[in-house]
Structure 1
Amino acid sequence: MNKTQISELLKQYQEGTLSDEDKDKVDAWYLQKALDSKLQLNEYELEDSYQYLKSTLPVQHERKVLSLWPRIAVAASIALLLGSGIFYFIQPKEQNVQVTVKPQEIAPGGTRGVLTLSNGKQIVLSDISAKDTIAKEGEEDEVTIKMNANGEITYVINPNAEGSKDDNSFNTLSTPTGGQYNIILADGTKVYLNAVSSIKYPTQFNGDKRIVELDGEAYFEVAKNKSKPFVVKSDKQSIEVLGTHFNVHSYNNESVIKTTLLEGSVAVTYKNQKSILKPGQQSDVSDNFSKIKVREVDTEEAVAWKNGRFKFDNADLKNVMRQLERWYGIKVEYRGDVSDVRFNGGTFRNKNLSEVLKVLELSNIKFKVEGKTVIVYP
């Protein structure tokens, strides 16, 4: 059948005036279009596509949709069909039949985390209700772990407990791809943990220093205690403070560890070097550098993730895409040379991936989304 014939049949299909014989012709034409597709559909997308088909196919009687669907399902079962959407028909004024694919939106991340206790037990925090007591730590339950009304993990020390005073009881808070979480440590220090990150810490700070270990990225609001410095260890770097606000970016797939100071003072130590940062400064350390690099930066960019934003200030493309990989759970592939592409501007982290990519395309970069893979073209 040619396009004019199909267009006329679809029109009659929509009006409910199509004969049974012609309905079979439309079914056969549609099924052939599905078989010709090189896209594939998994079982979850198959159900989603079925629901989308019912709401979009231009027919008046659901009876016909149900009779059509088993044939399409058969086509899907032989490893063909429809990818992230379902073919549907559009009849423009010219009466040309077009086949369109429903886009599959990739949603942003959210509040997700896993708490690992000193005994190895893991607690998925999204399953816990606010104000719940999550667990107790120590031989005599010296520390109670709770979730406060804001959804943050908190540590409450029992002043009457007579347990041992040591730092051997450690917990670890970790976030998956597309997750972030906040925690208030036993000393009152607040930690915002970005996606694909983890922080290991004692359930109470009894030594002469408050030491935590970070992998990934976190923003710290350190409770002041002049007699007990707060130390953040990340890879080969160590940061020591008494009480201040700063951000540490230390992912294992990034070549540079960045520490950005917002207020107070921090001492950054890397191998045999040490630098004191002032508010508004950022230190960069790497095995590729001969010394610690310190420079003035836009602190809003460094902590934009904590405030629910992506913010780019002359950021290179691959750095930007690594952020999207961690937040949206995607894989990025590059086709062509994009080494000189830089971005300025930003958007909100609560938007679907397609909306973020539209913003980035303003810099003359092209993106193609195939499932959970984003292909980048110059």
Structure 2
Amino acid sequence: MANSRLDTLIERFHNKTISEAEHAELLNLLAQNEHARTARQFFRDVMENQPGNAQYFKQSDSEALLAAVQSKIDITKQRPVVRMSPFWKWAGVAAAACVLIIAGVWLLQPAATSTVKPVVQNKTSVPDLLPGRKNKAVLILADNKQIVLDSTGTGMLSMQGNAEVRKSGNGQIIYESGNGLNTSNETVYNILEVPNGGEYELVLSDGSKVWLNSASRIKFPVNFSGNTRDVELSGEAYFEIAKDRARPFKVHFKTSTVEVLGTHFNVNSYDNEPAQAVTLLEGSVKVASLQEAEIIKPGQQAVLGNKNKMKIKQVDVEEAVAWKNGYFIFVDEDIKSIMRKLARWYDFTPEYLGDISEEQFGGMISKFRNISDVLKMFESTGTIHFKIIPGDSSGKGKKIIITR
């Protein structure tokens, strides 16, 4: 009954037909722990779909909801989770809007409008870093020829073995079986490399789709032959595998392998992360390390540490694929973990001075904000501070200094 009522109120909110009493009821339902997932999706929809000048919640409503959430938990008995604030403009005036995570509940909290007149500054004197962008990558062909994809037009790019390689209008690189003129039995491989500050989508010759995150690389055959479909990955990628029961699809990364017949999953295998992670969204996969193999189910994540010891845990898969959907989602993460993710997307080097806060942060923000907007979230907690070094005119030497 409660879920049905919550769905009705959310629909009325988006249709702008919600009354003041229903608005208060909506806030109350969203504050309940059993509706945490719905609450997070609701606030994500607000961020994506509502106009920039929307007045979502009054300050008093947000404070009441925050108090209601906090009253249900004993803050002193939990690990410190610092609340953060993404920023956007309401009615043309810069105002803070918090997406908070407290015991699994997400909260949008507008800040009170300041009566202090803003100080006008020369924008060139305020350093900032722009976010990365989609469709930024380099394709390395079998003869080692490199194609810079973000500066290449659409249409056919090359014939590789028996596969035609083309770039679609939305930037995808698509491999399609050609006319069979190449009669060589040799397997032809291509490589797609995505640098810091980029993402790319690839369609393999079997119809499988791969989304590559920043600082990632995939090596793949232009046509699959034999009894398996094998690719090699470093970095992070999300896979939607075309079903083929006769030929399992295998992703090889570091010393581990994911084997599937047809499913959706995410692999995180960055060299500078302490562990590798395979997260399953749909179907089933077998994750194998040098020591063991496990089959995981949707909603589960296989985590492999430095010694290839595997741990299976239940997770919210949305967190694992937030990068693909245009968001950063942080759940109980320390600042060094967060800065590794930001550094890959904004293409900078983090530098730490002195003792750094070990508090853990939680929150959600669009990946397409400037870095200053993201850093303000952390600085607003009073536990961490940043200095942006924008680098030279070519973008080299970009650095962020982190202090307590």
TM-score scaled by length of structure 2: 0.65
Residue 86 of structure 2: aligned partner: none
Contact map agreement 1:166 1:206 (CA 8 A) in 2: no
Residue 376 of structure 1: aligned partner: 402
Write the distance in 2 (CA, Å) between the matches of 1:357 and 1:113.
Answer: 26
Asked if residue 295 in structure 1 is aligned to residue 331 in structure 2, the reply is no
Residue 305 of structure 1: aligned partner: 323
Range that drifts further, 350-359 or 360-369:
360-369
Residue 34 of structure 1: aligned partner: none
How far apart are residue 167 of structure 1 and its match? 5.5
Residue 213 of structure 1: aligned partner: 232
Asked if residue 322 in structure 1 is aligned to residue 346 in structure 2, the reply is no
Residues 159-183 of structure 1: per-residue CA shift (max 9 Å, x gap):
x425336452000000111111100
Range that drifts further, 99-108 or 249-258:
99-108
Asked if residue 182 in structure 1 is aligned to residue 201 in structure 2, the reply is yes
- Superposed, 1:202-241 pairs within 5 Å as 202-241=221-260
Q: Which of 145, 148, 156 is equivalent to 1:121? A: 145
Q: State the aligned residue count.
A: 276
Q: Which of 297, 322, 346 is equivalent to 2:364? A: 346
Give the match's secondary structure for 2:380: helix
Contact map agreement 1:330 1:374 (CA 8 A) in 2: yes
Contact map agreement 2:194 2:213 (CA 8 A) in 1: yes
Asked if residue 151 in structure 1 is aligned to residue 171 in structure 2, the reply is yes
Give the match's secondary structure for 1:319: helix
Q: Which of 188, 191, 194 is equivalent to 2:210? A: 191
Letter in structure 2 aligned against 1:251 = Y
Contact map agreement 1:166 1:207 (CA 8 A) in 2: no
Residues 132-160 of structure 1: per-residue CA shift (max 9 Å, x gap):
1011112xxx21100112210001112x4
Contact map agreement 1:216 1:250 (CA 8 A) in 2: yes
How far apart are residue 99 of structure 1 and its match? 10
Give the match's secondary structure for 2:372: helix
Q: Which of 156, 177, 187 is equivalent to 1:133? A: 156
Contact map agreement 1:167 1:202 (CA 8 A) in 2: no
Greater Rg, structure 1 or structure 2? Answer: 1
Contact map agreement 2:137 2:199 (CA 8 A) in 1: yes
Which segments of 5 or more consecutive residues in structure 1 lack a partner in the other structure?
A: 1-92
Give the match's secondary structure for 2:153: coil
Asked if residue 250 in structure 1 is aligned to residue 272 in structure 2, the reply is no
How far apart are residue 101 of structure 1 and its match? 7.2
How far apart are residue 254 of structure 1 and its match? 1.4
Q: Which of 109, 114, 125 is equivalent to 1:102? A: 125
Which segments of 5 or more consecutive residues in structure 2 lack a partner in the other structure?
A: 1-116, 391-397
Contact map agreement 1:167 1:206 (CA 8 A) in 2: no
Write the distance in 1 (CA, Å) between the matches of 2:185 and 2:207.
Answer: 18
Residue 63 of structure 2: aligned partner: none
Greater relative contact order (Cα < 8 A, sep 6+): 2
Identity %: 43
Write the distance in 1 (CA, Å) between the matches of 2:254 and 2:318.
Answer: 24
Contact map agreement 1:284 1:293 (CA 8 A) in 2: yes
Write the distance in 2 (CA, Å) between the matches of 1:256 and 1:133.
Answer: 39
Write the distance in 1 (CA, Å) between the matches of 2:311 and 2:355.
Answer: 28
Letter in structure 2 aligned against 1:348 = S
Write the distance in 1 (CA, Å) between the matches of 2:287 and 2:210.
Answer: 18
Contact map agreement 2:228 2:247 (CA 8 A) in 1: yes
Contact map agreement 2:127 2:389 (CA 8 A) in 1: no
Asked if residue 273 in structure 1 is aligned to residue 292 in structure 2, the reply is yes
How far apart are residue 100 of structure 1 and its match? 9.9
Check 1:193–1:164 CA distance in 2 against 1; reply closer, same or farther (3 A cut): same
Runs ≥4 residues deviating over 4 A = 98-101
How far apart are residue 338 of structure 1 and its match? 2.7
Write the distance in 2 (CA, Å) between the matches of 1:166 and 1:100.
Answer: 59
Give the match's secondary structure for 1:238: strand
Letter in structure 1 aligned against 2:151 = D
Check 1:171–1:99 CA distance in 2 against 1; reply closer, same or farther (3 A cut): closer
Write the distance in 2 (CA, Å) between the matches of 1:128 and 1:351.
Answer: 26
Give the match's secondary structure for 1:305: coil
Letter in structure 2 aligned against 1:352 = N
Range that drifts further, 363-372 or 145-154:
363-372
How far apart are residue 337 of structure 1 and its match? 2.6
How far apart are residue 103 of structure 1 and its match? 0.7
How far apart are residue 225 of structure 1 and its match? 0.5
Structure 1 vs Structure 2 CA RMSD: 1.9
